[in-house]
Amino acid sequence: MAELLLVDTETDAERARLTLDGDEVRYSGEDADLARDILRDRARARDVTEAEAFRQYRRWGWANGPLALRTP
């Protein structure tokens, strides 16, 4: 299983955890809904599955203001 963390870049606090198991992405944590929205937006914009969007973020990362998706 692969993981990504949604973190607050100012405090380094983990806000959500995303786990890829096969082609299923699981979301947990305080801001799981926000993490889901970020990943789904990427998937729609690139016309890919959530799983592929997850893989893209694992390769390239993502940051927007005080939030970032990072590998653990």
So what's the pLDDT on residue 64?
Answer: 86
Q: Using alpha carbons, list the distances in angstroms from residue 64 to 1, 21, 22, 33, 59.
A: 25, 26, 27, 16, 16
Mean pLDDT of all residues in 35-46:
95
Mean pLDDT of all residues in 41-66:
92
So what's the pLDDT on residue 58?
Answer: 92
Residue 65 has pLDDT above 90, yes or no: no
Average pLDDT, the chain: 94
